[in-house]
Every structure is written in structure tokens, then in C-alpha cells.
Amino acid sequence: DTEVTQTPKHLVMGMTNKKSLKCEQHMGHRAMYWYKQKAKKPPELMFVYSYEKLSINESVPSRFSPECPNSSLLNLHLHALQPEDSALYLCASSQEGWGMETQYFGPGTRLLVL
């Protein structure tokens, strides 16, 4: 089973709203990732968690707040977003994140900020 699930599938929010994206995997992977993808562009790395610790923050604005409550779950808390934050948000996981591993992606959450 190489499944990564993400909820919700679609999200529309206003600039003053607070919402959360959720990602789950049951492959025993210890590295989890958040990516942002705009139309016709490659996925851009936002955050990496390894063994539930934040390993990489790619200078993402503080209106995005990641959380890894346990090794299977990854959340992305959203607050005071801007319309330019509208994108497909992808979660991925891999064995440990250290190297020579396959990343498996979830289906993504399509976010629209009004």
C-alpha cells in the first residue's frame, strides 16, 4: 500500500479565515513533506518533517504553520492567507528522508483564497 490521503479535496477560504489541511499515511514512513504547486509549474517544497521534527522550512511565510502530531499525520494550518496562495497543496512521504528514497504523493488539496 503506497497511499497518502489528504483532506479536504477542495477548500475555499476568505483572507481572514483559519483552516487546516490534513495528510495521513500508514506506510510507516518517517519523513513527510508539504509542497505547493501552481498551474503549469513544478511542485515547490515548503516543509519537511523527519521523525516528527521540522527539518526544512523553505522560508515559507508564517501564515502557513505545519504540525506533525505523530509519525502518520501531517497538518498545515492556514491563517490570513492571500489570494496568491491559491494553489494545489501536496503532501508526500518517504521512508526516512535521508536519501535514495521514493516519495509518494497524496492527491492534493485544491485551495482557493478569496
Partner 1 sequence: DQQVKQNSPSLSVQEGRISILNCDYTNSMFDYFLWYKKYPAEGPTFLISISSIKDKNEDGRFTVFLNKSAKHLSLHIVPSQPGDSAVYFCAASETGTYKYIFGTGTRLKVLA
Q: Which of 25, 50, 86, 93 binds partner 1 (CB under 8 A)?
A: 50
| H or E element in which residue 49 lies | strand 44-50
Task: Decide: is 83 part of the binding site for partner 1 (CB under 8 A).
Answer: no
Three-state DSSP state, 107: coil
Q: Given the rule CB under 8 A, which of 13-21, 38-46, 64-72, 74-82 is the region that contacts partner 1?
A: 38-46
Contact yes or no for 16/63 (Cβ under 8 A): no
Task: Decide: is 102 part of the binding site for partner 1 (CB under 8 A).
Answer: yes
- Exposed e or buried b for every residue in 102-111, given b needs 16+ CB within 10 A? ebbbbebbeb
Three-state DSSP state, 78: strand
Q: How far is the CB of 80 from partner 1 (least distance, A)?
A: 25
Task: Decide: is 2 part of the binding site for partner 1 (CB under 8 A).
Answer: yes
* Residue ranges binding partner 1 (CB under 8 A): 2, 4, 6, 31, 33, 40-43, 45, 48, 50, 55-56, 88, 90, 92, 97-108, 110
